[in-house]
Copies of this chain bind each other. A is one copy, B any other.
Amino acid sequence: MKLRQRTATVLLCSLAAAVALAGCNARRIKERPSPRGTNVILLIGDGLGDAELAAARNYLTGAGGHLTMEKLPVLGRMTTYAVVENAPHLPDYVVDSAASATAWATGKKTSVGRLSTAPQTGEPLATLAELSRAAGIPVGIVTTAEITDATPAALAAHINARVCQGPNDLAFCPEFRRESGGLGSIAEQILHQRFEIVLGGGRRRFEQHWGGLGNPQALLDTAHQLGFTVVTTTSQLEGPLRPPVLGLFAEGDFDRLWKGEPARPYPGSGPQRCQPAGRPPEQPTLEEMTRKALEILDQLARERGRPFFLQVEGANIDKSAHAADPCAQIGETAEFDRTVDLVWKYAQERGNTLLVVTADHAHATQIVPHPSAGAHFPGLLSTLVTNEGALLTVGYATNAPAGSQTHTGSDVSVFASGPYSEQLAGRHDQTELFVVFARALGLRE
């Protein structure tokens, strides 16, 4: 046991040394909070482009209805482009979740696949979460993906390739091995950051063993020794939990809430109604995780006289669109929108809270005319019978039918409420989120 504790301490220390670069970078932005900062809650619908949003609205509320997020008082639009790795003065017009999340996490553009590191040089870029922690601001990260996936990881990790999620996943990032003096995998970096509450999937990354100076240990054991409250089921999430909290409710990503026939070549799947998929009960809903995160962060923020920063991701909208699975996609969007409702009510009651709902990139979905033999969408199609009883045909044709449907380069919508939200009205680049959040949290530049 003592040996294990020493192992954990070594992890913290070795990581602390390795993260020094990022720390130096972080210190460039002076982190003294203003006396009264504003809570910041960012809700990311991964891949929730405007076509995905309209498809979900049509299905759920009818064409004339509004999703909850659309009722927020401030509307903006954001560009999401990345930059080219070897020519970072040039844009890469279609972004991925890693470069996109880096943009708001650090205020800097990077290239596709990178997490909070600069293109070409790999320089670590200080994140809002790190700056918050340095200012005594509690931080929460919630997702329905693995917590080592791109969107949550951008706040916590500095690494050259988003695939380097666990100690055994470093084939593309050999220089990040701690044995090589690196920062370690994304999972190791998340433990090091010790944010107040991190909830999602990806337990398999923490079951991997880190080298530990000749004393291999599963990261989960290390987490216990470092004082994390580790929870892995919905019922464990419900009780009172002492931060820092690490919730790992699935081996990989969460299961989808809804299922249906994926889109298929003409005449396509359906007409169909979407069905509950039976997410396993040990996996909480996004609302349940978010409610717990709000409870803990609210309490800590009051104790410390500080605001808090929370990022919540509805991750599997994106993954369902990659799979051309409209029912799964809409079910995840519905869950995300219910979470918006929960958070908006909290923000209205709490006051002094900036709430921002947006996406990290547009995706492949298109709402298209009903197919006929003479004229039809040439890719993957599905026709859904919406709640209002009409036929909604959605298509996916950004990759070969057997391939993963790709992101697209349209802007995304931004919905916001609370202090500073008017600064996001109109059209901005998503790096502006970093600036507005830092201002709201009282982190001075």
Footprint of B on A, CB under 8 Å? 50-51, 53-55, 58, 62-64, 66, 70, 73, 75-77, 79, 81, 84, 90-94, 362, 364, 366-369, 375-379, 388-390, 392-393, 395, 397-401, 403, 406-411, 413, 425-427, 429
Other-chain contact of A389, B76, B90, B398, B407 (Cβ < 8 Å):
B90
Considering the complex of A and B, which 6 residue pairs feature the smallest CB-CB distances, nearest first? A367-B409, A397-B397, A63-B91, A63-B81, A90-B390, A51-B410
A429 to B58, CA, bound (A): 13
A54 touches B410 (CB 8 A): yes
A398 touches B366 (CB 8 A): yes
Q: Taking CB as reference atom, which chain B residue is nearest A82?
A: B63
Which of A53, A369, A390, A400 has most chain B Cβ within 10 Å?
A369
A93/B398 contact (C-beta < 8 A), A366-B408, A411-B50 known: no
A400 to B408, CA, bound (A): 20
B75 touches A427 (CB 8 A): yes
Q: State how many copies of this chain the complex holds.
A: 2
Which residues of chain B have C-beta atoms less than 8 A from A378's C-beta?
Answer: 378-379, 397-401
Which of A70, A79, A406, A409 has most chain B Cβ within 10 Å?
A409
A75 touches B426 (CB 8 A): yes
B369 touches A90 (CB 8 A): no
24 inter-chain pairs at a CB distance below 8 angstroms, sorted by A residue, are A51-B409, A53-B411, A54-B409, A63-B79, A64-B79, A64-B429, A73-B426, A75-B426, A75-B427, A77-B413, A90-B389, A90-B390, A91-B388, A364-B366, A366-B398, A366-B408, A367-B409, A367-B410, A369-B406, A376-B399, A377-B397, A378-B378, A378-B397, A397-B398
Interface majority SS (helix, strand, loop, mixed), chain A: loop
- Report A175 CB to chain B, min CB distance, Å: 27
B425 touches A75 (CB 8 A): yes
- Report A274 CB to chain B, min CB distance, Å: 16
- Report A80 CB to chain B, min CB distance, Å: 9
B50 touches A410 (CB 8 A): yes
- Report A227 CB to chain B, min CB distance, Å: 43
- Report A130 CB to chain B, min CB distance, Å: 26
A51 to B91, CA, bound (A): 16
Which of A63, A76, A401 has most chain B Cβ within 10 Å?
A63
Which residues of chain B have C-beta atoms less than 8 A from A58's C-beta?
Answer: 81, 91, 93, 409
Which residues of chain B have C-beta atoms less than 8 A from A73's C-beta?
Answer: 426
A401 to B379, CA, bound (A): 11
A304 to B407, CA, bound (A): 54
Which residues of chain B have C-beta atoms less than 8 A from A81's C-beta?
Answer: 58, 63-64
